[in-house]
Structure 1
Amino acid sequence: MGSFIKKDLLMFLRDRKELIITLALPIIIIAVLNFAFAGLLGSDEEISMDLQLALVNQDDSENVAQDLQKKLVAESSIDETKAATIAEQANYGDPVQALFGFLKSEDLQELVTVHELDEAAAAEKVEQGEIDGMLVIPDGFTVESLYAAFTGKAPNVSLIYKMKEETTNNGTLYDIIHGFIDNLNYQFAIQHIGGSNETEIVQPQGGVEQLGKGEAFTLSQYFTLAMGILFALFLSITVATKTGEEIRQQVFNRILVSNSHPILFLMGKMVSTFILASLQMTVVFILAHFILDVFPGRSVEFWLGVGTIILLFALAVASLAAVFTSISLKMKNVDAANGVFNAIVMVLGVLGGNFVPIYVFPDWMQKLGEWTPNGLSLSVLMEWIQYEEASSLMIPSLMLIGFFILCTVIGLAMYPRRGEA
């Protein structure tokens, strides 16, 4: 079989046009796309946001305890002694002070700048665009909120948020304030259900929990993977198209004369395709890494995982080349066969996410794309880049091996018998 493999490799290497398309073109496309979409995803620059909020406090909080006690006695039929106890405990749960503390906390200081103004000045600055939005704390808000917390009734007074027009900034401010109010209402509801008269407001806590390695995935990495896999897939056509030239040169007759088994012709095509696809993807990934720093700071284990996926996908490409070669040998019009092969690979490229990210397609197309060898390889490489979990390679590896076996069987079944080619 060595002579057949050598023949196919030499035919490919002597075609300078194919060499340029296979090796240089992917790198050029990756570089162009990388610079065109620089910073769109996975940028190293931190996203900074400077939100300006005017805070208008119209609530008189000096006589909260007395006003709350009177309201409890007058509207809830609570005796003065119990109402006085509740009102005294209410000093620990002032919602206005909690709101001030939340807006001026360390977590929000980098995002939100709070300006304490009167309503007229705040409205003027909002109108002029100097401030994104204004939050008005109306008179009686504290008493109404505490009364609602102790009795379970809806408050008659609520916060008022005003803005000139809806933008991303003031929408973000609204979400922050709304989140605080939701947390406040939740705590009051829990205390009311538990029958507790003690009120203590806990500031909402936030954070990011990272699962696994959780490395960032960038557009540069996506372009590198997508183009490397796509052009490796096209190699199955490139090798198969050489069959037309060999038919014209009566290669089959030469095989018979040399007393070699005809099936070695197909095996040579598969092995040479496997070698070419493996080398092509390896060269593209390495050049993209050194030129564009696509995979910075990666370990040896990472590259071993990438190499494993490359070899498995190269097997799938080799089996696909076997199918295309068998079809080429049976068809009278080789050019028509090449057109069909290109159409098939283009469809696989679209479904597998090599032209555009697969998530833009409907769900049924996304599920279908996961069954294509290129789509499967792309998805597992993306997952490997982010998490480097060996367990994530098991099922995709078995699927790629299954695809290789299936296409190899089909290629052998379609391979022409004596006198058919």
Structure 2
Amino acid sequence: MTLTANKTNVEEQAIAAKKAAKSLSLLTTEEKNEALLTLASTLEEQFGNILEANEKDLDRGREKGFDEAFMDRLSLSKERIFDFANGLREVSELEDPTGLTVSGWTLENDLDVAKVTVPLGVIGMIYEARPNVTVDATGLALKSGNAIVLKGGSNAITSNKAIVDVMHKALEKTKIPKEAVQFINTTDREATQQLFTMKEHVDVLIPRGGGALINAVVNNATVPVLETGVGNCHIYIDKEADTKMALSILVNAKTDRPAVCNAAETVIIHRDWLAENKEQLIETFNKYNITVHGDEEACAVIPDCTPAGEEDWANEYLSLDIAVKTADTAADAINHIEKYGTKHSEAIITDNKETAKMFMTLVDAAAIYHNASTRFTDGSALGFGAEIGISTQKLHARGPMGLPALTTVKYMMTGNGQTR
């Protein structure tokens, strides 16, 4: 299947989204919530059509020989469709992030100043294989008063098109214009390139996927980018770490969902802890079928360890593989993370509060954990209700991006004839 992009068509879609964003910004919270509930019920009613389209994507995936993890991300079921419909219901129950007065004051000349939250406008969402992102991103965009232009990956294009068709039918019954949700129905990468430079129509780009996609957007876009990052996440097991706790956290962070961005990819182990606990560590790796890629010292004590190369320290495995690095001090661990980390999520396991404080202060990442799994870097897990991605940058938003991250502020002044 090959669909080609037309620059005029893509631009027309962006223009239509911008026009829809104007009307969307005038809707009440109740009207937006009613629309989300309508979307949810319609997706459930039409799940059969979505599954039929998804099967076509899965057939192509099998023909291309995609691995099991990729096929799982691509695959939909009645249960999964109902899950992301329920996600829309959960978003409808969250506080509206727009129209909030962040601060306000009155000047000496009686001019009232209010700093108020407003939608970003038009969000360009560029993402890869997960069809659920089509629904999740749309729900968050609409609740926060934004229009959205969706550019999904080619491997899920039939599924995404079917989902958007259902959402358009649902929006026709609501106060939200269906033009607020645009889907670029093409496998041509040129369409993505076109979005990069449409800053007169698109207010922000959010890339969600692998490193190649994210880097392409960050390096080539003239539209502002909310950068989401790949997750080369580390766990540092300090010499003063509780053994049972360290192994429990390591297992959870590596094996709970290996193919997600907040899974641990490298464990850095203090040499003293490794010497004392190597038998239990080896037993844990074997029990959970974890494949170890280690430095020289790790491979000397861990059976079936593959010597790690430079690529292992930087790798986001997204599997049951893990890199093992030994360290003399917490400072060694911090330096390793500084060199190879992706500023996503990092953890230290230790009973020493001073060591933990140093680690948490010096490590540069969106999320830092002391004695807890990196798997909590997630909008739902942290109580945001949902997320559109996890930002690894420092401007505007950082970490899991919920509804507030999809707003900006506007200063609104009210006077009675003041001049300057």
Provide the TM-score with structure 2 as the length reference.
Answer: 0.22
Name the one with the larger strand percent: 2
Provide the TM-score with structure 1 as the length reference.
Answer: 0.22
Structure showing greater radius of gyration is 1
Name the one with the larger helix percent: 1
